[in-house]
Structure 1
Amino acid sequence: MTNLSNYIYTLCTLVLLLMANVAVGSTLKVCKTCTYTSVKQAVKKAKPGDTVLIQGGVYREHGIEITKPLTVLGQNKPVIDGNYKGQIITVLADNVTIEGLTLKNIATSYRHDDAAIRVVQRSNVRILNNTILNTYFGIYLQNSDNCVVKGNTVTGKDVTGLNESALGNAIHLWYCNNADISNNNVKGHRDGIYLEFVEDSEVKNNLSQHNLRYGLHFMFSDGNVYTHNTFRKNGAGVAVMYTRNIRMEHNTFEGNWGAAAYGLLLKEITNSSIHNNTFRRNTTGIYMESSSQLDVQRNQFDKNGWAIRLLSSCIQDTFRLNNFTGNSFDVSTNGTPTMNQFENNYWDKYNGYDLDKNRVGDVPYRPVSLYSMLVEKVPPSVMFMRSFMVDLMDNIEKVLPSFIPESLIDEKPMMRKIDYDNDRKLAQVVR
Structure 2
Amino acid sequence: MWANNKITGLLIVLLLLLSVQLVQSQPVVVSSGSSIKEGVSRAEPGDTLIIEEGLYNEYDIKVDKPLTILGDGDVVIDGNRKGFILVITADDVTVKNLEVKHASTSFMEDYAGILIEQTDNTVIENVTLTDNYFAIYLAKSTNSVIRNNHITASAKRETQSGNAIHLWYSKDVTIEDNYVTGHRDGLYFEFVEGATISGNVSENNIRYGIHFMYSDHCRYEDNTFRNNGGGVAVMYTSHVEIINNRFEDNWGSSAYGMLLKEINRSKIIGNEFYNNSVGLYIEATSRNEFKHNTFRQNGWAVKLMANSTDNIFTKNNFIANSFEVATNSMKNYNEFNNNYWSHYEGYDLDRDGIGDVPHRPVRLFSILVEKQPQSLLLLRSLLIDILDAAERIMPVLTPETLVDSQPKMTKVS
TM-score by length of 1: 0.90
Name which of 61, 67, 71 aligns with 1:70: 67
CA distance in 1, matches of 2:191, 2:50: 35
CA distance in 2, matches of 1:279, 1:317: 18
Aligned pair count reads 398
Name which of 165, 170, 183 aligns with 2:164: 170
CA distance in 2, matches of 1:374, 1:335: 13
Task: Give unpaired runs (5+ residues) of structure 1.
Answer: 1-13, 420-431
Q: For the aligned residues, what is the CA RMSD?
A: 1.9
CA distance in 2, matches of 1:294, 1:378: 31
C-alpha distance 21-403 of structure 1, shift in aligned 2 (>3 A): farther
Residue aligning to 1:261: 255
SS in 2 for 1:57: strand
Name which of 268, 272, 278 aligns with 2:266: 272
CA distance in 1, matches of 2:89, 2:178: 23
Q: Match for 1:72: what amino acid?
A: I
8 Å contact 2:60–2:86 — kept in the other structure?
A: yes
Q: Match for 2:198: what amino acid?
A: K
8 Å contact 2:226–2:247 — kept in the other structure?
A: yes
Structure 2 counterparts to residues 3-402 of structure 1, below 5 A: 25-32=25-32, 37-157=34-154, 159=155, 162-402=156-396
Deviation at 1:290, TM superposition (A): 0.3
CA distance in 2, matches of 1:338, 1:21: 71
Of all paired residues, the percent bearing the same amino acid is 46
Q: Match for 1:69: what amino acid?
A: P
SS in 2 for 1:293: coil
Deviation at 1:374, TM superposition (A): 1.9
Deviation at 1:84, TM superposition (A): 1.1
Deviation at 1:21, TM superposition (A): 5.8
Per-residue deviation, residues 185-208 of structure 1 (Å, max 9, x unmatched): 000000000000000110000000
CA distance in 2, matches of 1:309, 1:195: 24
Per-residue deviation, residues 169-224 of structure 1 (Å, max 9, x unmatched): 00000000000000000000000000000001100000000000000111000000
SS in 1 for 2:366: helix
CA distance in 2, matches of 1:353, 1:383: 30
SS in 2 for 1:221: coil
Residue aligning to 1:6: none
Q: Match for 1:30: what amino acid?
A: V
8 Å contact 1:192–1:211 — kept in the other structure?
A: yes
C-alpha distance 91-351 of structure 1, shift in aligned 2 (>3 A): same
8 Å contact 1:276–1:300 — kept in the other structure?
A: yes
Deviation at 1:335, TM superposition (A): 1.1
8 Å contact 2:32–2:56 — kept in the other structure?
A: no
SS in 1 for 2:256: coil
8 Å contact 1:333–1:376 — kept in the other structure?
A: no
Q: Match for 1:115: what amino acid?
A: A
CA distance in 1, matches of 2:376, 2:45: 64
Task: Give unpaired runs (5+ residues) of structure 2.
Answer: 1-13
Deviation at 1:237, TM superposition (A): 0.8
8 Å contact 2:202–2:224 — kept in the other structure?
A: yes
SS in 1 for 2:310: strand
8 Å contact 2:196–2:218 — kept in the other structure?
A: yes
8 Å contact 1:332–1:376 — kept in the other structure?
A: no
SS in 2 for 1:411: coil
SS in 1 for 2:391: helix
CA distance in 1, matches of 2:26, 2:211: 41
CA distance in 1, matches of 2:307, 2:376: 23
Q: Match for 2:401: what amino acid?
A: S
Deviation at 1:267, TM superposition (A): 0.5
SS in 2 for 1:76: strand
Deviation at 1:400, TM superposition (A): 1.8
Deviation at 1:311, TM superposition (A): 0.6
Residue aligning to 1:426: none
Q: Match for 2:329: what amino acid?
A: G
TM-score by length of 2: 0.93
Q: Match for 2:66: what amino acid?
A: P
SS in 1 for 2:334: strand
CA distance in 2, matches of 1:397, 1:352: 15
Deviation at 1:389, TM superposition (A): 2.0
Q: Which 4+ residue blocks in structure 1 deviate beyond 2 angstroms?
A: 376-384
